[in-house]
Structure 1
């Protein structure tokens, strides 16, 4: 009887220990998994940034899956100041028409995508910056000396993308007799410009400089330098986000330590882009 009782107690104790062990392990695994996933995002191990994927010199996803351009360099610097290594950045395409929606839905943490600050957009999102003052300009062939001012675009074939406000601005305000040609993308305009089918391409000078800086176009094009509008590029964040102040501090540091100038030269230098000095944070030039 004593032996039987001893064995029964031992079996019960072992069973209890097994249950406790299993329960403890399950709770431990559940706790680590839950806090690990949430904490990873909350503590900044990953950050999602919206950029353009199709603008050389600004934001471009290359065929080998890399990301290049001035906005990419700015966003990478900002992300680092926010505590994220480049390997922790998840890049997401931010097409012009989708930028406010991406921010409002929380699909991205911030957007740096040739995103001009204006009152209509500022009703929906907040902007850090500006970090670049661009201007509407034209790109012409390097050997073309017939276009030296906006009015010279009269009777010239002027190209921009379908629906662009830049081309309409030139035609309605500066050169009403310009022969507007609207193509599906800037690459098509460039091909036409290179082949002589188009006389000029218009959009922001930073975008034009980015295209002209590509190795295959070296020495073929030049910017007019007309400064037909002011485009204050800002970094978009959700309305009311505390990221705005943090990003502004990062941008100020980027300018102060020379990284901003280095990024401008790296991405726009080959086009002899006469960039404006780094704008003062919070000051939007009208």
Structure 2
């Protein structure tokens, strides 16, 4: 009798265990590592780039990259409320992808051969150009060569910094920081003479209310920067899905709407949507 009761209890426990497992499987996210489970998806963005990826004081996120990521996530089956945003500094993007901390990265992530050895890229979804941001009253910098006698700021791991040191102004006093906001502070207090990165990023800073009138873009197209969405190398299924989403975003007008909303106030003249490779 005791044996019968024990067997019945064990059977009941097994049924409950299987039921719990099944319920958990229904609610979990099947899109792979980088997601936090429960139907969530983790996406890497910048937190300190006005116009592209910015975490606002109220805890919400805004910018063109945020809009692109949100659109792509929706096409993958996730509502905006299902997105977990993770800060992705330039120097950490490859590690975040490789370690599975994010599903993909949308963070002014320029596609180049060196990065393609470590991650795959969907896109491109935007074409920017490297430029310089200088103080409005500074007329001493009109071309890249002028930087050879100047203090130049950029962020660690950026292609802009490498481009200047290797090609444009090898004698520039290059200072690299963890974020563009640090460079901007240095520019404002004259600790540095110029900030270099993509014109889209510079326009975002220059258009902020607290910075209006203080800075100007030099207007130099020093390089072509094709922004791509970085994801784990070899994930061809996700790559195809993201590219399909980007094509749809351009064709249905959402891409241009996002560009106008995020860059329009600064008067920034963007390039047309690039062809998806």
TM over 0.5: yes
Cα 1:73–1:196 shift into 2, 3 Å: same
For the Cα contact (< 8 Å) 2:90–2:155, is it kept in 1?
no
Structure-to-structure mapping, 1:25-104, within 5 angstroms: 26-39=13-26, 40-42=28-30, 45-104=39-98
What secondary structure sits across from 1:228 in the alignment? coil
For the Cα contact (< 8 Å) 2:90–2:157, is it kept in 1?
no
Q: Which moved more, 1:216-225 or 1:113-122?
A: 216-225
Structure-to-structure mapping, 1:1-286, within 5 angstroms: 26-39=13-26, 40-42=28-30, 45-161=39-155, 166-167=160-161, 169-170=163-164, 172-175=166-169, 178-182=172-176, 185-241=179-235, 242-282=237-277
Deviation for aligned residue 1:135: 1.5
Q: Normalised by the size of structure 1, how large is the TM-score?
A: 0.81
Rounded to whole Å, the distance in 1 between the matches of 2:158 and 2:15 is 57
Rounded to whole Å, the distance in 2 between the matches of 1:158 and 1:173 is 14
Deviation for aligned residue 1:253: 0.9
Deviation for aligned residue 1:246: 0.5
Q: Which moved more, 1:55-64 or 1:181-190?
A: 181-190
For the Cα contact (< 8 Å) 1:209–1:268, is it kept in 2?
yes
Rounded to whole Å, the distance in 1 between the matches of 2:255 and 2:110 is 18
Rounded to whole Å, the distance in 2 between the matches of 1:97 and 1:153 is 24
Rounded to whole Å, the distance in 2 between the matches of 1:137 and 1:108 is 29
Gaps of 5+ in 2: 32-37
What secondary structure sits across from 1:260 in the alignment? helix
Gaps of 5+ in 1: 1-11
For the Cα contact (< 8 Å) 1:55–1:211, is it kept in 2?
yes
Q: Which moved more, 1:100-109 or 1:68-77?
A: 100-109
For the Cα contact (< 8 Å) 1:212–1:270, is it kept in 2?
no
Rounded to whole Å, the distance in 2 between the matches of 1:253 and 1:103 is 25
Cα 1:161–1:88 shift into 2, 3 Å: closer
What secondary structure sits across from 1:252 in the alignment? helix
What secondary structure sits across from 2:263 in the alignment? helix
Deviation for aligned residue 1:264: 1.6
For the Cα contact (< 8 Å) 2:243–2:276, is it kept in 1?
yes
Deviation for aligned residue 1:23: 6.2
For the Cα contact (< 8 Å) 1:218–1:270, is it kept in 2?
no
Q: Which residue of 2 aligns with 1:3?
A: none
Deviation for aligned residue 1:165: 5.2
Q: Which residue of 2 aligns with 1:6?
A: none
Rounded to whole Å, the distance in 2 between the matches of 1:27 and 1:108 is 35
Question: Rg bigger for which structure?
Answer: 1
Q: Normalised by the size of structure 2, how large is the TM-score?
A: 0.83
What secondary structure sits across from 2:29 in the alignment? helix
Cα 1:128–1:182 shift into 2, 3 Å: closer
Q: Which moved more, 1:46-55 or 1:168-177?
A: 168-177
Q: Which moved more, 1:238-247 or 1:160-169?
A: 160-169
